[in-house]
Amino acid sequence: MFQGLQQKWKVSGLQLVLILFTFAVGGSLTGFVGRRMMNLVSIEQDWLWIIVYILIITLLWPAVVLFVSVFFGQYGFFLGYLGKIGKRMGLAKKMNKAQIPTSDTPMESTNSLPSHLPGATGRPTTHIAIFASGAGSNAQKIIDHFRRQGHIKISLIVCNKPGAGVLSIASKENIPAILIDKEKFFRGNAYTDELKEKRIDFIILAGFLWKIPAALIKAYPGKIVNIHPALLPKYGGKGMYGNHVHQAVINAKEKESGITVHYVDEHYDHGDAIFQTTCNVFENDTAESLAQRIHLLEHEHYPRVIEKILSGS
């Protein structure tokens, strides 16, 4: 049972224990608060008392569990968990229109989007290219997020690694893909002709390990974003990717890590930050266990941050 939950939620053994503790403490606290509230009202009919109590518990539980999750370092997990429940209950559209939760740290940027993108005049289709080098889990989340939004379309997958999982995702989703080589990317036109041919308006880096050349930045100024698995400006730069980042964070005995969504310029992990959010780093963390929590943050927030950028909000 516990192994099944661990695989389903993609968490470490320690995190699973903390999640179950949060459920238990949150449930008990919800029941306690609910009973105290019921003591303040006088309801003689047993059936009505039960109905009112159930309604109060239902409304209290999400807030109480989120509150408790902060003390167990599982706020990011439960925010995503409750979001999925809301989606199943038909609340997803309302949630997507809302601002990113106030516990996160949105940032202003001077980069502006061109007038033909959503949020300017009308809602013409914005064509997106996703650049990725690996399995493509972030790419899949982005594709899923924009699947039913006709004005934002994932029109191209760009990959630099033969056999990468993201290419299988492109095939499964019927999205055109380009496998690029270093010579043309760094010393040629950086595939700008192919991007223009696909009418690409915006570029999203989702685990893409090559540095973006000046030719591509010049062709798409202020229209390339990346997600970094740490809180920039710390732990950025050449070689700071994947478990290298997480191990550096652990070695420095940081208490927090997180993600940074930022615009891309000529330097590694240097462009203006757009959004950051954090998670705890525990004393017994490994690079792998920390990576699991970072992946949860990436999957939860990156698609929504992209949507906010493209909508100009």
Q: Which residues are catalytic?
A: 228
Alpha carbon 94 to chain centroid distance? 18
Q: In 10 A of CB 250, how many CB atoms?
A: 20
Please identify which residue in the block is written with the tokens 């959004």.
275
Q: In 10 A of CB 194, how many CB atoms?
A: 17
Beta strand 177-179 pairing with 202-205: unpaired
What sections of the chain are H helices per DSSP?
2-9, 13-38, 46-71, 75-88, 92-97, 137-145, 165-172, 182-187, 192-197, 214-219, 242-251, 287-311
Measured between alpha carbons, how far is 189 from 220 in angstroms, rounded to an integer? 13
Question: Within 13 Å of residue 263, how many CA atoms lie on the same side as its CB?
Answer: 19
Question: Which tokens in the block code for residue 293?
Answer: 């929590």
Note whether 62 and 269 are within 8 A (CB): no
Sheet with 202-205, side-by-side order of all strands: 105-106, 273-280, 256-263, 224-228, 202-205, 126-132, 152-159, 177-179
Measured between alpha carbons, how far is 127 from 120 in angstroms, rounded to an integer? 15
Residues 6+ apart with CB under 8 A from 36: none
